[in-house]
Structure 1
């Protein structure tokens, strides 16, 4: 490669890096983890208003006290992950504006799992932002029909949601890109058939880069009367989901239910925010609880 070409490649790389870093501005003292944790102390309602907060680099918390919504910013537009329940959509939009970003610059909306407390606001958010929605195939069916999947162990206890068109169907390992920003999907079907975890690199104003892992819920909740041991295929998928979460590139762990990973405490400095072993520990705990459930089912009659 000639020196001229090498110089051009380096210049393009630096331009992309600087483009990303330009939005990794130091967070205002107003939008700290301490403020978020304080505002939500004793409040975990799915629609309890929360202030926005800076997570790391180009990544921001714009959800409620009980349900996460994550904004990842870039010079080419922004990506929003999860929409909370339907009545949380205005709160998410307000938080995006409070941070100084324009909701009209959201280009993609992604989701963790296809339950109404995380996708209920997506249709309204899609209309307000004009963004496109991308999802795994299993989640697409629920997003577009608004009806819970019959394959979901929680189906009998789930509410529906407003249908929303899915512009792009993703497969495990696909990425949604905006300029230098790439957010990769990992199919992690522990909590629901369409569960998705997401990873991306975020760099701060000093160009210190970390991998953010938005690891989906890993609990194995079900409707009354459902027995996992009667559904060996679902049991296998749960194990697969846990195994994939354990090996996510994971410097900073964020979860759809913040309390599931003590996220607010860690963001406020009461614990390690940066922990490369966090996803592994998160998955191991879920797998141990699932093993206990299977053992309990095996020791019962199911009646």
Structure 2
């Protein structure tokens, strides 16, 4: 038995407890948020596993991965939502200036509109896919985006590094790997990495939204190369090792329900998610053939 020797008048040493544990903050998130909730509604941060935290709003996810040489943030919400993400990072006890890299999922204003503001607050470098980089630097969706013209312009950001599919991003003891998953947007990326809490290691995947949504006059079937790239990305996502799935819109992967139960592990989640998106794409193409 271990016996603590405590000097008279001093409190015993305390065991560090992780901030925002899933057991308590998961249900707190679910109590405050609902499916397809407001993009700028504050939500509590949640420790998903080990050094990986959900730090976004009720309706828009952002993911913080902490490391020994600084932290990586994926997505920045809207420009109005960016300060809420910054506040959640601070609530967890981390310094904004220790966020060294900001990554993206897909280049629409509800997920990257706040990156310019967060880059200013943190001093972080922004890494983006080649197609997304152009959008981040102009604040306007590219002409080849199925949703081009649907969204208002957003605050631009300085892109410091262009990413390549499958080439990891490294920062100290962190390594995150991008998966090119175009479809919802041309420059969309999904991300996967490992996280260990003591001897309990899990593979975490932040899978892009991927739904085949577009402006009224866009037809996916008129762009066969794009559809082929769309399907290839889904296949890559389905094949990746995946214990915990998160998505840019929490409700796209039943995150609110899963957080409410404080149970978010499912090794089949990524394959099921990719399969569901594939079916939605098939349905969209079938509808287009009828017009």
The TM-score, its normalising length taken from structure 1, stands at 0.87
For the structure 1 residues 151 and 168, does the alpha-carbon distance in structure 2 shift closer, same or farther, using more than 3 Å as the test? same
Q: Does 1:26 align with 2:11?
A: no
Instruction: Give the Cα separation in 1 of the matches to 2:35 and 2:232.
Output: 34
Instruction: Give the Cα separation in 2 of the matches to 1:263 and 1:191.
Output: 20
Matches for 1:127-146 after TM superposition, within 5 Å = 127-146=120-139
Q: 1:122 aligns with which of 100, 115, 127?
A: 115
Query: Which residue does 2:13 correspond to in 1?
Result: none
Q: Does 1:297 align with 2:263?
A: no
Query: Which residue does 1:249 correspond to in 2?
Result: 241
Query: Which residue does 1:71 correspond to in 2?
Result: 64
For the structure 1 residues 214 and 43, does the alpha-carbon distance in structure 2 shift closer, same or farther, using more than 3 Å as the test? closer
Q: Does 1:287 align with 2:278?
A: yes
Query: Which residue does 1:233 correspond to in 2?
Result: 225
Measured after TM superposition, the shift of residue 42 of structure 1 is 6.1
Structure that is richer in helix per residue: 1
Q: Does 1:82 align with 2:65?
A: no
Matches for 1:101-250 after TM superposition, within 5 Å = 101-204=94-197, 206-250=198-242
Instruction: Give the Cα separation in 2 of the matches to 1:42 and 1:144.
Output: 31
Query: Which residue does 1:61 correspond to in 2?
Result: 54
* Structure 2 unaligned regions, length at least 5: 1-15
Instruction: Give the Cα separation in 1 of the matches to 2:170 and 2:17.
Output: 21
For the structure 1 residues 187 and 28, does the alpha-carbon distance in structure 2 shift closer, same or farther, using more than 3 Å as the test? closer
The TM-score, its normalising length taken from structure 2, stands at 0.91
Q: How far does the alpha carbon of each residue in 1:242-263 deviate from its partner, in whole angstroms, 9 at most, with x for none?
A: 2122112211000000000011
Q: How far does the alpha carbon of each residue in 1:192-225 deviate from its partner, in whole angstroms, 9 at most, with x for none?
A: 1000011111111x32100100011120000012
For the structure 1 residues 72 and 31, does the alpha-carbon distance in structure 2 shift closer, same or farther, using more than 3 Å as the test? farther
Helix, strand or coil at the partner of 2:279: helix
* Structure 1 unaligned regions, length at least 5: 1-23
For the structure 1 residues 45 and 28, does the alpha-carbon distance in structure 2 shift closer, same or farther, using more than 3 Å as the test? closer
For the structure 1 residues 165 and 240, does the alpha-carbon distance in structure 2 shift closer, same or farther, using more than 3 Å as the test? same
Measured after TM superposition, the shift of residue 178 of structure 1 is 1.5
Q: How far does the alpha carbon of each residue in 1:122-159 deviate from its partner, in whole angstroms, 9 at most, with x for none?
A: 00000000000001111111011111110001002122
